[in-house]
Amino acid sequence: MTALEERLRGELRAESEIITPESIAPLRLPGDTDHVPCLPRRGGARHWPEWVKPLAAAVAAGAVIAGTFAIAHALPGTRQQSWSPTPGYAGVPCYYAYTLQGDIFDYTSHGTEYGASVTGRYLRIRATDSGKLITVLAPPKPYNNFQTISADATGTVFVLGAMHDWQRYANPRPSVFARTQATPMRFLAVRITGGRARVISLHLPVTVTPGQGPSIALSPDGTRLALAYGGRGRPAVVDVITLPDGRVRHWTSPRVPWRPLLSGRGAWTANGRTLVLQERYAPASTQVRLIDTAAPGTSLAAGKLLVLRAPVGESAPPWAFITPDGTKLIGGTNGAQFRPRNGIERGALSVYSARTGALLQRLARWKWNENDTRPGHGGAPQDQVAWSNPSGSQLIVLHPVDDRNILGLLTDGAFRTAGPSLPRQPAGYQELQNALRTGTQLVW
Amino acid sequence: MEGDIAHLPDSTGPPRPRPAADAPGRPAEGGAGTASTAASHAVTALYRSHALGLTRLAFLMLGDRHAAEDVVQEAFCGLFRAWDRLPDDANVLGYLRVSVVNGCRSVLRRSRRAPRALAAPPAPSAEADVLVGEEKRAAVAALRRLPPRQREALVLRYFADLPESETAKAMGVSRGTVKSTTARGLAALGRMLREVP
């Protein structure tokens, strides 16, 4: 017997002792005069009148038909009409969603206070133009963390992946929580129509657990969901699920040491054909693979592998945003890796060719003094691409300026805080900037 | 009350009284006939011997002591109803065990959710026991996250100490299925225990 078997045997025995001999209630058999807790059928088998049987059969058949009809209308993947495509990439999305960190448990154990925090405790959806809060969502119980989110190009369809994080151990004394990676994830969709959000439960034909490190990317027209998972010693897998009918395209690799990752933003080209998968990240280079989802084959190796090398004195971009026309990959690079002694960091947005992976251009170089003590200044620089026009010549970015992260428009390398694509209403601008600064994930 | 199914061979237990030849087929029907009285006594004696072990078995499968008690009560009521139909050499404990396993499956199917958290055990509250208790809870909590069939197999094999053949009978599957289910359950349990920080 192995150590695990021994342990299991001992713990089962110990656990079973919760049931003590004194706690066993006396047996109450049928025919006892007082109330019986168990309710066996008195008088043996039940005899129904003959006329009840055809009636019951008809009712059951009707219920089956009605249930099938209801399910067909309720679940995406069973009827074409239930999951209609959106117009796809056209301009700035109408809505955006972002997740916020939060504690799910606070507890005291032996005089010490503990908290268990997750990165996606809540999700907020706001209107781009006005900043109006459309909805706040928490994962359905017992799920408690939105681990991954994605949106279509119009910003009216969002897909959310919820995980059950930090399970309480069975016995509440002391309250002990364990991070769990084994509960299958649950996926939800949110559709915004007329300023109202409707939450739909997605029943995907693929089951993944948080331990498999899943990440998702919704196609620009909102009809296909890419799901990447696996790796770290197992095969890396990318599934593209067609939501209206549940069809799955499957790409895989042999066992690999890296984790396949999809970015919440800028993972698809506007035509919904090319998908960017990040394979490896190291300070010297980032490896991404461009998967042509229209080409036949099931091997990830068939995709084009690009190595995005770090500019001199900086580290490679941790994420690569593909421009909607599929010609460039853009990511923030900086020198924080090299720990400048004077506290001054430098960086820029680096533009790479999506054909060769070569560094093409450096945009909007910035300098950041992490020791700036002025109110609202200092901290950590964030250089994020939030949106791009088709060619990448116009970007909406959160950009380090004067030791603050500012929302603005980057046009041919020039940064400004006002422009045609940015939210015109002050509240819209402020809320989007705030979401980019504070959201643990943001999709737009 | 004493007894644990882990310590009782299947053929033990009080001898089954034969119902009288003219006894009705349903013991409860018609009041307290000779056969139903004898059956009642026999089933009650069996309950005294095996209720604790079976309740513990159901509790480990369900994680809910009240549901476990109900399942065991139902199993004995079922035995009482079927008493006159059982052959003389019936493996009564095996019959009860199958009833309990099936009852647990029904409860889980009805509830459509994971087993509820356990009530606090009447354990000593010494600080030194806490770490041991945490270890214990870790394995049991991991067991509860297994699929029901794997949990059944592990509980029957390692709590009830049943051989593969008896586990197969209790679960209504083949020996090979028991072996594979147990192996998969142990592997999953090992993985989950390694994930606990």
- Give the mean model confidence (pLDDT) for residues A233-254: 93
Looking at residue A226, what is its pLDDT?
96
* First-last CA distance in chain A: 55
- Residue-by-residue DSSP string for A397-421: EEEEETTEEEEEEEETTEEES--TT
Q: Is A13's CB within 8 Å of B2's CB?
A: no
Nearest CA in chain B to A7: B139
Residues 106-125 of A with CB under 8 A from B: 110
Q: Is B140's CB within 8 Å of A12's CB?
A: yes
Looking at residue B118, what is its pLDDT?
34
Of A387, A389, A390, A413, nearest in space to A398 by CA: A387
Looking at residue B24, what is its pLDDT?
33
Q: Specify the DSSP element, H or E, that contains A190.
A: strand A186-193
Least confident of A109-113, A206-210, A226-230, A260-264: A109-113
- Residue-by-residue DSSP string for B53-111: HHHHHHHHHHS-HHHHHHHHHHHHHHHHHHGGGS-TT--HHHHHHHHHHHHHHHHHHHH
Looking at residue B2, what is its pLDDT?
37
Least confident of A25-34, A66-75, A152-161, A408-417: A66-75
- CB-side neighbour CA atoms (13 Å) of A276: 32
Query: How close, in Å, is residue A67 to chain B by CA atoms?
Result: 18
Identify the residue with better confidence: A48 or A204: A204
- Residue-by-residue DSSP string for B158-179: IIS---HHHHHHHHTS-HHHHH
The closest CB to that of B137, out of A44, A169, A183, belongs to A169
- Contact predicate B78/B41, CB 8 Å: no
Model confidence at A42, pLDDT cuts 50, 70, 90, reads very low
Looking at residue A40, what is its pLDDT?
34
Of A231, A328, A344, A350, nearest in space to A279 by CA: A231
Q: Is A38's CB within 8 Å of B117's CB?
A: no
pLDDT tens-place string over residues A279-325: 988 888 999 999 999 999 999 999 999 999 999 888 899 889 999 99
Least confident of A246-255, A265-274, A381-390, B19-28: B19-28
The Cα–Cα gap between A230 and A77 comes to 24
- Give the mean model confidence (pLDDT) for residues A229-243: 93
Residue B144 one-letter amino acid: R
pLDDT tens-place string over residues B56-107: 999 888 887 777 888 898 888 888 888 888 777 778 888 899 999 999 888 8
Looking at residue B122, what is its pLDDT?
32
CATH class name, domain B1-117: mainly alpha
Model confidence at A438, pLDDT cuts 50, 70, 90, reads confident
Residue A334 one-letter amino acid: N
Q: Is B56's CB within 8 Å of A183's CB?
A: no
- Residue-by-residue DSSP string for A68-127: HHHHHHHSTTS-GGGSPPP--SSSS-SEEEEEEEEEEEEEEETTEEEEEEEEEEEEEEEE
Give chain B positions within 8 Å (CB) of A11.
135-136, 139-140
- Contact predicate B150/B188, CB 8 Å: yes
pLDDT tens-place string over residues B104-129: 888 887 765 443 333 333 333 333 33
Which of the residue ranges A1-10, A145-154, B115-124, B136-145 has the most confident prediction, judged by mean pLDDT? A145-154
The closest CB to that of B121, out of A5, A18, A27, belongs to A18
Q: Specify the DSSP element, H or E, that contains A227.
A: strand A224-230
- Give the mean model confidence (pLDDT) for residues A179-189: 85
The Cα–Cα gap between A235 and A222 comes to 27
> Residue B102 is encoded by which pair of tokens?
């099936």
Residue A398 one-letter amino acid: L
Query: How close, in Å, is residue B13 to chain A by CA atoms?
Result: 17
- Contact predicate A365/A348, CB 8 Å: yes
Q: Is the pLDDT of residue A369 over 60?
A: yes
Of A430, A80, A427, nearest in space to A242 by CA: A80
Give the residue carrying structure tokens 């069973």: A78
Q: Is A43's CB within 8 Å of B190's CB?
A: no
The answer to whether domain B125-197 has CATH 1.10.10.10 is yes
Q: Is B139's CB within 8 Å of A172's CB?
A: no
Model confidence at A78, pLDDT cuts 50, 70, 90, reads very low
Residues 26-45 of A with CB under 8 A from B: 27-31, 37-38, 40-44
- Give the mean model confidence (pLDDT) for residues A62-68: 63
Model confidence at A129, pLDDT cuts 50, 70, 90, reads very high
- A47 contacts chain B (CB < 8 A): no
Looking at residue A435, what is its pLDDT?
92
The closest CB to that of B28, out of A37, A42, A110, belongs to A42
Q: Is the pLDDT of residue B5 over 80?
A: no
Q: Is A15's CB within 8 Å of B74's CB?
A: no
- A374 contacts chain B (CB < 8 A): no
Domain ranges of chain B: 1-117, 125-197
The closest CB to that of B136, out of A11, A173, A181, belongs to A11
pLDDT tens-place string over residues A380-430: 888 889 999 999 999 999 999 999 999 999 998 889 988 888 998 889 999
User: Over pLDDT 90: what percentage of chain B?
Assistant: 19
Whole-structure pTM value: 0.58
Looking at residue A43, what is its pLDDT?
39
Q: Is the pLDDT of residue A106 over 60?
A: yes
Q: Is A170's CB within 8 Å of B144's CB?
A: yes
Model confidence at B134, pLDDT cuts 50, 70, 90, reads very low
CA-CA-CA-CA dihedral for B14, B20, B23, B28, to nearest 10? -20
Do the domains spanning B1-117 and B125-197 agree at the CATH topology level? Answer: no
